[in-house]
Structure 1
Amino acid sequence: MDMYGNRSARRSGRGRLRLAVTAVLASTLLLTAACSGSDKASWQGGGDTESTTSSAGPAAPEPTLSTVAVTSPAADAKSVELWSEVKYSSEDPANTDVVVTNAKGTEVKGTLDKDKNVWVPSDSLAWGTKYTVTVTSPAAEGKTNTTSSAFTTMKEPSKIVRVTSFLGDGQTVGVGMPLIMKFARSIPEKYRAEVERRMTVTATPAQEGTWRWISATEVHYRPKTYWEAGTKIFYNVQLKGVQIGDGWYGRSNLTVDLKIGREMIMTVSNKTKKMTVKQDGKVIKTIPVSLGKKSTPSSSGTMVVMEKAAHTVFDTTDEDPVNGYKTPIDWAQRITYSGQFIHAAPWSEGKQGNTNVSHGCVNVSEALGEWLFGKTLMGDVITVTGTEEKLKNGNGWTDWNMSWEEYKKGSYLN
């Protein structure tokens, strides 16, 4: 019994040892499987099914590209006008770029407004030319989304209007000089505002000014007060390809650089029969004058010197064969279209300073006429006061013969 019992006890002890080892082994396997992240553990009841959990977390989403498109001009559009804007759409407009190239691949200068999603050419495009628009928007991880579209501009039309400037590059003119643009045909009123927008004036130093339509074929520009002495003026007229009539287009663009000289103001009083000449605010000469007699009075108002001729001939015989005259004249300076001048009149020197005997002109002596001629510039100001007749606006460059408020009414932008 004791022997048998002892044997049984030993067997029982070994059995408990094997159970303990097995339990430890199983526990180790479970711990190993849990730490290893194995996706197969059939003894855990998973069989060959994939585990639904992973320590790597959810997969990162694919980067999304910003969508871009050219919305105008339409793809492959023909006969596009030369100043057409390029419009586009983008989901990331702040970081979107637009490049326009011509048929040779040269980039066209323009201004990109990212708030309005529009590109505007800095100058008119060329007639009958193909252009390519490329719109690019960046995306994540260095990727970009790019789209291209092409269009072709209109051919040069048969109905084109020549636009000219009275003034040219490099001229120096007086402080009252208006800028003058002329058109080869009448511009309908509905197009005049756009014409004004295309004619920009830059003055240095800056001065307030505006355009005024003198007629359907002529428009002037003046500042609020006389130009400051020494002002540099640049004006840019961009009318090539711009509609300026029903079926008519501007022929070309032009630019003008010029300068305002010293300030010279001439003031003529009929009461005193004298002209006071001021340069840069200081009186430099007082000149006796004879103005128009009562039957042919001089005009009272503010005018400017329009043209100068050292020697010319006044001939009125075509207008008045009976009472007309033909007379050589020295040191003539035109101030009205109707034929009023400042000029030398040696035949009236005895009357100058006390009696009016002219046909409407401002008569001065031969010597003072030459002196004054040598001092003046086209655009210098002359104001005549106290005569029997008022200056009619339009009889010459009468831009200063009206108030600023009245002058502004002639603009289609004010």
Structure 2
Amino acid sequence: MRKAIRSLFVASVVVAAAAFGTGAAGAASVTPDLPAVQAITPGPGQVVGIAAPVTVQFASAVTDRAQAERTVDVRAENSLAGHFTWLDDRQLMWQPTKYLPASAPISVSAGREHIKFQTDGGTSADADMSAHTFTVWVNGVARTMPASMGKPGRETPVGTFPVLSRERSVTFDSRTIGIPLNDPEGYLITGEFAERLTWGGVYVHSAPWSVDSQGVANVSHGCINLAPADAEWYYDNVNVGDPVTTHW
């Protein structure tokens, strides 16, 4: 049985001095004194998951943030509810309050720019750290796999995270989380079939070295470890923006 989502969304990056605004994305307006919109992500025609945020990058620093937010409109058939976060003085991120509608075209207007992208069928995943399982729903069909999450002192964060990137291979370096290579806990290894969940280094990935613990115990440094075949299957079926919920 799929677990209830304990957090609608946990931001995967900590942004110093970020400013927040809430409310539905309204009808976009164009203000001549605002910088031009340089890029909108997701890009035109891209297929993403139902938890994907929308990022608007302006050509130069924005001084009137409230006015810039009023130029952004995100909609399917109607405007969608969400909230804004400023990543820096040029980048504005809009996140849906719940999820984007599945298998739907999404339109974004920001300033004078207009793009459309597409959501997938609503692929989602649930990491149960007590049961040591990772369950994925694709088109309503569940696949449950044994998994190992963060060990005591290095627990996997709890919440709902959108997949930020898919990486066929990635180097895991313990120094990025404050553990020297010469420490007994130190490591420098290559992981495969990886999906980034946080900018702090939490991934879902293949971990042949922990197969004996998967489904039994949590032994990782915070990542979600899967057997190679399961990790490859998930890599082949996941999109950027698909939600992953972690809980006890």
Conserved? CA contact 1:207–1:224, under 8 Å: no
Partners of 2:103 and 2:153 lie apart in 1 by 41
| Structure exhibiting the larger radius of gyration computed from Cα positions | 1
Aligned Cα root-mean-square deviation (Å): 2.5
Q: TM-score, normalised by structure 1?
A: 0.48
User: Which amino acid counterpart does residue 254 of structure 1 have in structure 2?
Assistant: E
Change (3 A) 1:278 1:255: same
Q: Which of the numbers 235, 239, 242 marks the counterpart of 2:108?
A: 235
Higher RCO (CA-CA < 8 Å; seq separation 6+): 2
Answering whether residue 234 of structure 2 is matched by residue 372 of structure 1, we say yes
**Aligned counterpart, 2:49:** 174
Helix, strand or coil at the partner of 2:158: strand
Helix, strand or coil at the partner of 1:193: helix
Helix, strand or coil at the partner of 2:149: coil
Which residues of 2 match residues 290-301 of structure 1 at below 5 A? 290-301=148-159
**Aligned counterpart, 1:353:** 215
User: Which amino acid counterpart does residue 84 of structure 2 have in structure 1?
Assistant: R
Q: Which of the numbers 160, 173, 177 marks the counterpart of 1:302?
A: 160
Q: Which of the numbers 242, 248, 254 marks the counterpart of 2:113?
A: 254
Question: Structure 1: where are the runs of 5+ without partners?
Answer: 1-121, 126-156, 239-252, 387-414
Helix, strand or coil at the partner of 2:76: strand
Partners of 2:73 and 2:80 lie apart in 1 by 12
Change (3 A) 1:123 1:193: closer
User: Which amino acid counterpart does residue 348 of structure 1 have in structure 2?
Assistant: S
Conserved? CA contact 1:196–1:211, under 8 Å: no
Answering whether residue 62 of structure 2 is matched by residue 187 of structure 1, we say yes
Runs of 4+ in 1 over 6 A off after TM superposition: 122-125
Partners of 1:381 and 1:329 lie apart in 2 by 21
**Aligned counterpart, 2:80:** 208
Partners of 1:320 and 1:331 lie apart in 2 by 24
1:231 CA displacement: 1.4
Q: Which of the numbers 210, 219, 222 marks the counterpart of 2:95?
A: 222
Helix, strand or coil at the partner of 1:369: helix
Larger helix proportion, structure 1 or 2?
Answer: 1
1:216 CA displacement: 4.5
User: Which amino acid counterpart does residue 304 of structure 1 have in structure 2?
Assistant: P
**Aligned counterpart, 2:172:** 314
Q: Once the two structures are superposed, what CA deviation does each residue of 1:160-190 show, in whole Å capped at 9, x if it has no partner?
A: 67643232111000011111123465534xx
Helix, strand or coil at the partner of 1:299: coil
Change (3 A) 1:160 1:261: closer
Answering whether residue 139 of structure 2 is matched by residue 268 of structure 1, we say no
Change (3 A) 1:365 1:284: same
Q: Which of the numbers 271, 278, 285 marks the counterpart of 2:143?
A: 285
Conserved? CA contact 2:165–2:240, under 8 Å: yes
Question: Structure 2: where are the runs of 5+ without partners?
Answer: 1-28
Partners of 1:296 and 1:306 lie apart in 2 by 21
1:124 CA displacement: 7.7
Partners of 1:276 and 1:124 lie apart in 2 by 46
Q: Once the two structures are superposed, what CA deviation does each residue of 1:318-346 show, in whole Å capped at 9, x if it has no partner?
A: 65433342211110000011100000000
1:198 CA displacement: 1.4
User: Which amino acid counterpart does residue 213 of structure 1 have in structure 2?
Assistant: T
Answering whether residue 192 of structure 2 is matched by residue 330 of structure 1, we say yes
User: Which amino acid counterpart does residue 367 of structure 1 have in structure 2?
Assistant: A
Change (3 A) 1:299 1:184: farther
Q: TM-score, normalised by structure 2?
A: 0.78
| Number of positions where the alignment pairs a residue of Structure 1 with one of Structure 2 | 215
Partners of 2:59 and 2:189 lie apart in 1 by 34
1:266 CA displacement: 0.6
